[in-house]
């Protein structure tokens, strides 16, 4: 029963993301709205982590088999994709490297900012 309740909470948040996607005229996927709603609810303690942890862990555990249908779909259209596979792979590699660099720079900036703030707080305590 606990697992069913947790799935219900996750599905409710997902449904709210779908509603926002239908109502707002922004080019944002419904799944992103749902993730932002869940993040807000968890940060604001509207939803406690133990209210969704078991179901979320289950969904993460079964994620790899969920990619099987899309892999089979790629196999069935391989003849059409064969001629563009090299440019697509180059785009994937280049954008992946770009995203990794941007993520690293942003993360490092946040870490440096927090360290500076922590040093400032320690300096204020000394005086």
Mean pLDDT over all residues of the chain?
93
| Nearest-angstrom CA–CA distance, 13 and 7 | 10
- Total domain count for the chain? 2
Q: Are residues 84 and 111 in the same domain?
A: yes
Q: What is the pLDDT of residue 119?
A: 85
Q: Which residue has the tokens 């979320």?
A: 56
Q: Are residues 10 and 62 in the same domain?
A: yes
pLDDT tens figures, 63-95: 999 989 988 988 888 888 889 999 999 999 999
Supply φ then ψ for residue 40, to 5 degrees: -60, -45
- Among 66, 82, 100, the domain-final residue is 66
Give which of 5, 27, 7 is closest to 15, Cα–Cα: 7
- Among 13, 44, 66, the domain-final residue is 66
What CA–CA distances, in Å, run from 127 to 113, 114, 115, 119, 123? 22, 20, 19, 13, 7
pLDDT tens figures, 8-39: 999 999 999 999 999 999 999 999 999 999 99
pLDDT tens figures, 88-126: 999 999 999 999 999 999 999 999 999 999 888 877 776
The structure tokens listed for 76 are: 């069935």
Q: What is the pLDDT of residue 124?
A: 74
Q: What is the pLDDT of residue 80?
A: 87
Domain containing 45: what range?
A: 1-66
């Amino acid at each position: 029963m606990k697992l069913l309740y947790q799935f219900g909470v996750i599905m409710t948040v997902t449904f709210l993301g779908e509603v926002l996607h239908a109502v707002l005229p922004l080019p944002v996927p419904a799944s992103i709205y749902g993730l932002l709603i869940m993040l807000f609810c968890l940060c604001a303690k509207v939803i406690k982590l133990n209210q969704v942890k078991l179901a979320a862990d289950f969904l993460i555990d079964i994620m790899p088999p969920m990619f099987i249908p899309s892999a089979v779909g790629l196999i069935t259209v391989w003849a059409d994709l064969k001629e563009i596979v090299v440019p697509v792979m180059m785009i994937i590699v280049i954008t992946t490297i770009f995203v990794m660099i941007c993520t690293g720079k942003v993360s490092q900036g946040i870490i440096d900012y927090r360290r500076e703030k922590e040093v400032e707080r320690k300096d204020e305590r000394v005086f």
